[in-house]
Amino acid sequence: MTIDRRTFADKPTLAIELAEAVADRIRTAIAERGAAAIAVSGGSTPARFFQALGKTKDIDWSKVIVTLVDERWVDETNSRSNALLVNERMLQGPAATARFFPLYSGGDEPDAAAVVRTNALLAQLPEPFAAVVLGMGSDGHTASFFPGGDTLSEALTADGPAIAIRAPGAGEPRITFTLPRLLRTDGLYLHIEGEEKADVLDTALGDGPIEDMPIRAVLRSGHAVTVYWCP
């Protein structure tokens, strides 16, 4: 494992430091490749980070594409939509000129046709990602790699870009980037907060099956992972 664990005093400081790290990746990708794509996680944890990154002025946001590592299969107006959070918290001010590639592509279920629609859009993303920012649940899931997921094995091994997944702990049906596609990134970050998540990470870093704690697939991938944590 190549894990760099960084600890910050509080949530605002972590958000600023993570935003600066991702901004550096974006600027480098634009300088080297002419464009940058980032994939971020939803939930409540990254809200401060989104706001800090979106306020960064010295990025040519018109050359940036933002997408999500995973999404609940709900409309973007739904309060549980990760896309709603990104649009409200990040893609404002300087970042308003960035493009957003949603994973939800309409319909009641992420059936085969819906996944084809989503993947047709994602195929337009520049590679590699400039940065991928993951979160982690108390059950050891990341992205939508949930224990007990019906397509978990495929999600962890297929080239992707994205597949549908259903799991007991996931709530709605979801769509997620596959792990191999997420690992094609210049910078891979894990953003977690609180003592409980630190304990979960410690457990995940120990021995045990990936199926029980799918975050282990990331930690054991061989890709350098920088952990940003605060109490």
Q: Is the pLDDT of residue 126 over 70?
A: yes
β-bridge partners, 7: 229
196-223 average pLDDT score = 98
Cα(206)–Cα(190) distance, integer angstroms: 17
Cα(93)–Cα(51) distance, integer angstroms: 10
In terms of Cβ atoms closer than 10 Å to its own Cβ (0-12, 13-18, 19+), residue 7 is exposed
**pLDDT value for 44:** 87
Mean pLDDT (the chain) is 97
pTM: 0.97
**pLDDT value for 178:** 98
**pLDDT value for 160:** 87
For 171-200, give the DSSP string: SS-EEEE-HHHHTSEEEEEEEEESHHHHHH
Q: Is the pLDDT of residue 149 over 90?
A: yes
- How do residues 29-79 score in pLDDT, each as one tens digit? 999 999 999 999 998 899 999 999 999 999 999 999 999 999 999 999 999
Cα(231)–Cα(7) distance, integer angstroms: 8
Q: Is the pLDDT of residue 1 over 70?
A: no
Cα(49)–Cα(52) distance, integer angstroms: 5
Distances (CA, A) of 151 to 101, 144, 145, 181, 193: 23, 10, 9, 16, 28
For residues 67, 73, 78 and 81, what is the CA-based torsion angle, rounded to 10 degrees? -30
192-214 average pLDDT score = 98
180-200 average pLDDT score = 98
